[in-house]
Structures are given as C-alpha cells and as structure tokens.
C-alpha cells in the first residue's frame, strides 16, 4: 500500500484502504436470489442452484455441509428443513458458487469498450481540524482492461495483497498526488 497515510486516522479522517473499496465495488455487482436464507423459498432456491452442478456440491463441501444423501434429498423434497446452522452454510455455499459463476461476466462487463471509468471519493475529512485537512477532490479514472481482469481474479481469490498491488498501480495514474488516495471513502462505477 502506498505510504503517505502512515498514521491514517490520527487526525480523525475516515476511509478504507483502496483495495477494500475495489473489492467491495466488484462484490456489489454480484446479484442473486432475493429471498432470504431463513425462508423456505430462499433455501429451496439455493438448494436448486447448488445441486444443479458438480461445482455446487463442491461449494457445499467448502462451506462445511456434511449431510447424507438422504438428508439432502429430504431438503430438496421439502420434507425436512435444514437447521439454522446449515441454512447459513447453504447461503455461504450459494454466494461462493455465485461469485465463481459470474466472474467471467464481470470481467466482460468491466473490460468492455476499453475499460470502465471509476469515480474515487477521497477520505472523509469532516472530522479533521481544518489545519490538518488535505485538498482532495473526487477523481475519475479510466481503468484499463488488464487491470479489471486481474482485479476480478484477486477478488475471487480473496487475495488482499494482489488487490493492494492493483490499487497502487491504478492510483499511480492520478499523478503526483496518487498517494493521497491510498485510503478512500468509496469508489463507484457503472458497468
């Protein structure tokens, strides 16, 4: 991470590391089942999605769902209902699989037309004394396709180190004040 904010928050500025904002922005693009996991309809939809492919069974295994075939069939037939703990695990497995399934589409959307333009909102300095405030503006960048490809892969792998490197590479395009955007309030885009 770039280092100008060595003691970030010392003067009460608020924000998150750019890598976290980047990952959160990609995460917001992932949509899925609207019914909550604590409803019968929500669980039934998650079970159908998860049991439709081998990857779904792998996602359930990664989430720690260890039930017999008989129990799984009973859940699918809605003869039995999963425990609250298993409902939470099914929800985790669903979102894990959903992220993997939409990654290619996310890359395509973000890389179209030569890359996606993002808006970077600087840290919130409203609680910082005026004498310690920095002159930071909302910035706009065109993010090149190669960066989006790597960013989605790093987001999917939950690789904070690579996301941090990508963020540093991305903000370097801001010129001499790039280091002021190591921490941000948020970033956004429309893809």
Sign of CA dihedral 42, 54, 105, 120: positive
Are the C-beta atoms of residues 127 and 2 closer than 8 Å to each other? no
Please tell me what DSSP assigns to residue 32. -
Q: Are 106 and 92 in contact (CB under 8 A)?
A: no
User: Which parts of the chain register pLDDT below 70?
Assistant: 1-6, 191
Q: Is residue 179 within 8 Å of residue 4, measured between CB atoms?
A: yes
Listed by start position, the domains of the chain span: 16-30+109-189, 40-102
Q: What is the pLDDT of residue 6?
A: 63
pLDDT, residue 75, reads 97
Place of tokens 């190591």: 182
C-alpha–C-alpha distance, residues 89 and 91, integer Å = 5
pLDDT tens for 46-91 read 999 999 999 999 999 999 999 999 999 999 999 999 999 999 999 9
Would you state the pLDDT for residue 5? 57
**So what's the pLDDT on residue 21?**
96
**3-13, pLDDT tens digit by residue?**
555 677 777 88
Please give the pLDDT value at position 23.
Answer: 96
User: What is the model's pLDDT at position 8?
Assistant: 75
Quote the pTM value.
0.85
């Amino acid at each position: 991470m770039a280092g100008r904010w060595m003691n970030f928050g010392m003067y009460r500025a608020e924000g998150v590391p750019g890598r976290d904002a980047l990952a959160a922005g990609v995460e917001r693009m992932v949509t899925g089942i609207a019914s909550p996991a604590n409803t019968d309809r929500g669980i039934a939809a998650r079970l159908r999605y998860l049991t439709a492919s081998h990857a779904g069974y792998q996602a359930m295994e990664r989430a720690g769902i260890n039930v017999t075939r008989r129990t799984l069939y009973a859940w699918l037939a809605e003869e039995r209902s999963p425990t609250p703990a298993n409902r939470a695990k099914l929800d985790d497995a669903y979102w894990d699989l959903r992220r993997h399934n939409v990654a290619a589409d996310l890359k395509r959307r973000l890389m179209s037309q030569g890359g996606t333009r993002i808006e970077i909102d600087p840290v919130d300095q409203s609680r910082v004394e005026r004498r310690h405030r920095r002159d930071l503006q909302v910035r706009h960048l065109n993010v090149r396709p190669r960066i989006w490809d790597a960013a989605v892969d790093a987001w999917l792998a939950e690789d904070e180190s690579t996301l941090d490197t990508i963020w540093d590479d991305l903000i370097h395009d801001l010129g001499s004040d790039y280091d002021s955007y190591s921490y941000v309030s948020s970033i956004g885009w429309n893809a």
